[in-house]
Chains A and B, each alone.
Chain A
Amino acid sequence: GAGVSQSPSNKVTEKGKDVELRCDPISGHTALYWYRQSLGQGLEFLIYFQGNSAPDKSGLPSDRFSAERTGGSVSTLTIQRTQQEDSAVYLCASIRESGANVLTFGAGSRLTVL
């Protein structure tokens, strides 16, 4: 597609529920990144995919967080047993890795855990 697409744009859930956030990167972009933006904080790296593999998962805050990517395209970030501190905007970005090395971000998924 023309840009990075994320869904849902907004998600309100109850503490303890599981949520799935989806990212559809720009066609042809081989690398995909998940970042989290909490209120008053800078963007925080979570995980990165090269193709369907995740060489760097070092930013995932706990084992409640997981992500996968299929077909070298769509990625899903799953948060199990959500906690209030998980409330944030989850941003996905993709990059071509040839030519200009510029991350292109989606609009984000705003997660609110009640």
Chain B
Amino acid sequence: EDQVTQSPEALRLQEGESSSLNCSYTVSGLRGLFWYRQDPGKGPEFLFTLYSAGEEKEKERLKATLTKKESFLHITAPKPEDSATYLCAVQAGSTLGRLYFGRGTQLTVWP
């Protein structure tokens, strides 16, 4: 049973066209929700951690938000270098690095 579902699976944006990626989760007792970026042939790279509903975090053109059932990764005026797969993961138990990952959203930004 999937605990983390990401949508869409793939997203193509023109440079400057803002959009949002969705991550819905069904775990109880959320300890943290994580966003990672993964480039081809590389391991996931940490972006954000969110802990409670209403929390928001920003980094350059990215902003992550959290509700009780889902998280959004908003991308404002994306550039081609933002092209990557964005992974969402949740920590449900007490083990810090024991995460449940979604399948990711593959983002392509074209000039």
Contacts and interface: CB of A to CB of B under 8 A. Distances in A.
B87 A95 contact: no
Interface string B1-23: 00010000000000000000000
B46 A103 contact: yes
A21 interface: no
A105 B45 contact: yes
Nearest to B104: A42
A31 B43 contact: no
A8 to B, nearest CB: 14
B42 A42 contact: no
A93 interface: yes
A77 interface: no
Interface stretch (B56-64, B66-74, B76-84, B94-102): B94-102
A62 interface: no
Interface string A83-114: 00000000101010100111111111000000
A105 B38 CA distance: 10
Given A41-B103, A107-B43, A108-B43, A101 B96 contact: yes
Contacts of B97: 31, 33, 48, 93, 95, 101, 103
Interface of B: 4, 32, 34, 36, 41-46, 49, 87, 89, 95-104
Given A42-B102, A91-B43, A104-B46, 10 more contacts: A40-B103, A42-B104, A43-B89, A45-B99, A91-B44, A95-B97, A101-B49, A101-B96, A107-B42, A107-B43
Interface of A: 4, 31, 33, 35, 40-45, 48, 55-56, 91, 93, 95, 97, 100-108
